């Protein structure tokens, strides 16, 4: 990431890249981050999930719906900046807010629901979080499809060998 210009950009990354070093580097280079949070940060993930799932927690939220290619997707972002308690026990670099996005997808009458938690270096409003998450997921799906289409040793495959390291999508900050 040190070779990238991050000033004025948002680094979004999957749970594999949810590391203190990456968070510190993003803010150190003048950018912001939205990092997916899962089991690799087990106690942090548990604390965030428990807090965000508590009905008594005041959250700022937004929902958007996308109808395309025979499916209906609804994304609901919920964010909180009440994180002093979290920083006392986890001391995450540059953390300003936490959030979750609940994604519901309906295809041919079958509905699936997935909830993902995020760490944010800026107190974004929920709508830009929905957009950033959706962009990142599209990039990830395209990258996975491209990797699956390549056979080992093919020219395209060799260009993608560092795909796991290049999993950050840089988008302009919302105004």
In a domain, residue 89? The reply is: yes
In a domain, residue 135? The reply is: yes
In a domain, residue 160? The reply is: yes
Domain of residue 47 covers: 9-59+79-98+119-172
Integer Cα distance of 33 and 26 in angstroms: 6
CA R_g for the chain? 17
Question: pLDDT confidence of 94, banded at 50, 70, 90?
Answer: very high
For position 97, what pLDDT does the model report?
A: 95
Integer Cα distance of 135 and 129 in angstroms: 10
For position 155, what pLDDT does the model report?
A: 43
In a domain, residue 31? The reply is: yes
Integer Cα distance of 164 and 126 in angstroms: 27
Q: Among positive and negative, which fits the CA dihedral 78, 51, 26, 32?
A: positive
In a domain, residue 35? The reply is: yes
For position 164, what pLDDT does the model report?
A: 46
* Mean pLDDT (whole number) for 82-94: 94
In a domain, residue 162? The reply is: yes
Question: pLDDT confidence of 30, banded at 50, 70, 90?
Answer: confident
Question: pLDDT confidence of 132, banded at 50, 70, 90?
Answer: low
Integer Cα distance of 158 and 26 in angstroms: 27
In a domain, residue 65? The reply is: no
Tell me phi and psi for residue 95, to 5 degrees: -65, 125
Share of the chain above pLDDT 90, in %: 34
- 13 pLDDT above the threshold of 90: no
In a domain, residue 2? The reply is: no
For position 126, what pLDDT does the model report?
A: 75
Residue-wise pLDDT for 61-84, tens only, equals: 888 888 877 888 888 889 999 999
The number of folded domains in the chain is 1
- 159 pLDDT above the threshold of 80: no
- Pairing of β 110-120 and β 71-80: unpaired
Residue 117: name the closest of 47, 19, 22 by CA: 47
Integer Cα distance of 42 and 25 in angstroms: 22
In order, the DSSP letters of 30-76 are T-EEEEEE-GGGHHHHHHHHHHHH-TTS--EEEEEEEEETTEEEEEE
For position 157, what pLDDT does the model report?
A: 38
- For residue 170 the two structure tokens come to 């840089």
């Amino acid at each position: 990431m040190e070779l990238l210009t991050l000033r004025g950009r948002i680094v979004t990354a999957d749970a594999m890249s949810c590391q203190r070093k990456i968070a510190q580097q993003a803010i150190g280079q003048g950018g912001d981050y939205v990092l997916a949070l899962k089991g690799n940060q087990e106690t942090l993930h548990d604390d965030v999930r428990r807090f965000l799932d508590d009905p008594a927690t005041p959250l700022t939220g937004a929902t958007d719906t996308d109808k395309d290619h025979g499916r209906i997707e609804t994304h609901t972002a919920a964010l909180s900046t009440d994180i002093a308690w979290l920083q006392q026990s986890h001391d995450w670099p540059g953390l300003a807010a936490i959030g979750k996005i609940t994604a519901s997808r309906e295809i041919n009458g079958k509905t699936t629901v997935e909830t993902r938690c995020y760490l944010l270096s800026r107190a974004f409003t929920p709508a830009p979080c929905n957009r950033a998450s959706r962009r990142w997921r599209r990039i990830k799906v395209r990258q996975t499809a491209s990797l699956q289409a390549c056979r080992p040793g093919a020219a395209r495959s060799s260009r993608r060998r560092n795909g796991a390291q290049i999993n950050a999508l840089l988008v302009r900050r919302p105004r």
